[in-house]
Amino acid sequence: MENTVVIGAQWGDEGKAKITDLLARQADIIIRYQGGCNAGHTVVADNKTFKFHLIPSGILYKDKICMIGAGTVIYPEVLKEEIENLKAENVSLDGLKISPLASVTMPYHIDIDGRSESCAANKIGTTKRGIGPTYTDKISRHGLKVEDLFDEEFLSRKLDDILTVKNKELVHIYGLEPYTKEKVFEICKKYAQILKPYVCYDWQMLFHNALKNNKSILFEGAQGVMLDIDWGTYPYVTSSNPVAGGACTGSGFGPSVPKNIIGVSKAYITRVGEGPFVTELTDETGDKIRNIGHEFGTTTGRPRRTGWFDAVVAKYSVLVSGLTSMAITKIDVFDTFDEIKVCVAYKDKRDGSVYSWYPTNVNIHKYLEPVYEIHKGWKQDLTGMKSYDELPENAKKYLERLEELIGVKISIISVGPDREQTIFKS
Ligand code: IMP
């Protein structure tokens, strides 16, 4: 397999985990490059359901290197839980590697995320996993990197600086309890123990040898393009770069390394948290999609907002991530639908102007309504179909129209949660 990046092409939860799981079979190294335990990936393998937040799901295969990269933020408590769950299922963790440069989410990040969400007038609807506050500290240079946890003298000095600022923020801005240095030091020691067996100090040699020996690298994205801190519906975004460019900055492999960039989109769209969503359905059809598609968050259990496929969003994702193909997941959710809509443009209710490219000024989205194309349903069960040829005519027409609208080929079609329920299209 050529080096491949898999990213979400919508607002996350597109079913990336299944696609990365399938491609991981052909990869030697799988590297997660951004985000933290805000992500929730579900993989069904051998009739067992595995839930991942931080560890690349490729760990389910033997003899793969699964790395949590430098661009991620790691909350060791969640990682510990994930490690224990995998051990309980006898999954080997020999291939798990953690970048010494990844950032550490501390309990005060979680305190701040929770409090800032509960007292904000304009909520983001975060997962409250401390993601934003951890990245904020990274950028303001008050963060802790994994490798900092193993040098007690350096850590002690660093904590003096960090806590001087952090405690002011906790107490005076958020009305929260301060942390003593002793307490944070103890937490850091505990985290060091959790992370220690997996920290990969020789990553440069590993990467160098992987490139020299033409090993296959799979870059696993979390969240989606529309939640990107630079390219998403700011401020209703996460704090990292889920776009394909993030695969390089967050992994340590340069931009000439990935060859394929696969965007994953559902045959419809979902979003959790606040923020604009032009094709959102707040009616019975939206409920139907939610119920058939089991659209409830893996990490938070929140019901997801649902809507029709938005080709304007898809085209934007193709552009800003340089997608070479798209994977369409959960198309079987429409098996009982009489008709299926696809948004091809937005219309401004104020003056009737039409947008066929994504308007990045999200302040105007409240004035936008979708311009829909209506497609006939196929009214057939797709879940057992194994090849593109087997698909009913109306399903093929729907997919071919999507290809035309988004401008790249659809390479993978998922017709159910299992690994076997996947159609590869050349
Ligand atoms: P945060 O990443 O927890 O800061 O949340 C910021 C926004 O991103 C919120 O709208 C979340 O619901 C959304 N978000 C974060 N992670 C995911 C994910 O894995 N899937 C879908 N939405 C996510």
The answer to whether 13 is a known catalytic residue is yes
Does 258 score more than 90 pLDDT?
A: yes
What is the average pLDDT score of the chain?
A: 95
Q: Which atom of ligand 1 is nearest to 273's Cα?
A: 10
pLDDT of residue 409: 98
pLDDT of residue 240: 98
Does 299 score more than 80 pLDDT?
A: no
Q: Which atom of ligand 1 is nearest to 300's Cα?
A: 12
Contact at 8 Å (CB) between 410 and 422?
A: no
Question: Which residues have CB under 8 Å from 46's CB, separation 6+?
Answer: none
How far is it, in rounded angstroms, from Cα 237 to Cα 316?
16
If one residue of 110, 272, 299 were mutated to test the ligand 1 pocket, choosing by the most ligand atoms within 8 A of its CB, it would be 272
Q: Which atom of ligand 1 is nearest to 129's Cα?
A: 3
Between the CA of 297 and the centroid of ligand 1 the distance, in Å, is 10
pLDDT of residue 267: 98
How far is it, in rounded angstroms, from Cα 6 to Cα 261?
6
Active-site residue, from 13, 111, 228, 332: 13
Q: Count other Cβ atoms within 10 Å, centred on residue 392.
A: 16
Q: Which atom of ligand 1 is nearest to 127's Cα?
A: 3
Does 241 score more than 80 pLDDT?
A: yes
Question: Which residues have CB under 8 Å from 49's CB, separation 6+?
Answer: 42, 43
pLDDT of residue 118: 86
Contact at 8 Å (CB) between 423 and 388?
A: yes
pLDDT of residue 291: 96
pLDDT band at 335 (very low <50, low <70, confident <90, very high): very high
Question: Which residue's C-alpha comes closest to atom 22 of ligand 1?
Answer: 12
For the stretch 103-156, pLDDT in tens is 999 999 999 999 998 888 788 999 999 999 999 999 999 999 999 999 999 999
pLDDT of residue 226: 98
Does 46 score more than 80 pLDDT?
A: no
Q: Kindly state the tokens that stand for 404.
A: 């035309």
Question: Which protein residues touch ligand 1 with a CB less than 6 Å away?
Answer: 11-13, 38-40, 124-127, 129, 131-132, 222-223, 227, 236, 238-239, 272-273
Does 285 score more than 90 pLDDT?
A: yes
Question: Which residues have CB under 8 Å from 131's CB, separation 6+?
Answer: 35, 36, 38, 73, 105, 109, 113, 238, 239, 240
The answer to whether 294 is a known catalytic residue is no
pLDDT of residue 119: 84
pLDDT of residue 276: 95
Question: For residue 112, which of 129, 91, 92, 94 has the smallest C-alpha distance?
Answer: 129
If you average pLDDT over residues 216-245, what whole number do you get? 97
Does 300 score more than 80 pLDDT?
A: no
Question: Which residue's C-alpha comes closest to atom 5 of ligand 1?
Answer: 126
Question: Which residue's C-alpha comes closest to atom 1 of ligand 1?
Answer: 126
Contact at 8 Å (CB) between 6 and 218?
A: yes
Between the CA of 273 and the centroid of ligand 1 the distance, in Å, is 7
pLDDT of residue 44: 76
pLDDT of residue 48: 84
Contact at 8 Å (CB) between 198 and 96?
A: yes
Question: Which residues have CB under 8 Å from 245's CB, separation 6+?
Answer: 255, 321
pLDDT of residue 315: 98
For the stretch 55-113, pLDDT in tens is 998 899 989 999 999 999 999 999 999 999 999 999 999 999 999 999 999 999 999 99
pLDDT band at 244 (very low <50, low <70, confident <90, very high): very high
Half-sphere exposure of 238 (CA within 13 A, CB side): 32
Task: Indicate whether this model's pTM tops 0.85.
Answer: yes
Active-site residue, from 28, 41, 148, 332: 41
Q: Which atom of ligand 1 is nearest to 240's Cα?
A: 2
Of all residues in the chain, the percent with pLDDT exceeding 90 is 90
pLDDT band at 365 (very low <50, low <70, confident <90, very high): very high
Contact at 8 Å (CB) between 67 and 56?
A: yes
Between the CA of 424 and the centroid of ligand 1 the distance, in Å, is 29
Question: Which residue's C-alpha comes closest to atom 9 of ligand 1?
Answer: 126
Tell how strand 73-74 and strand 41-45 pair up: unpaired
pLDDT band at 333 (very low <50, low <70, confident <90, very high): very high
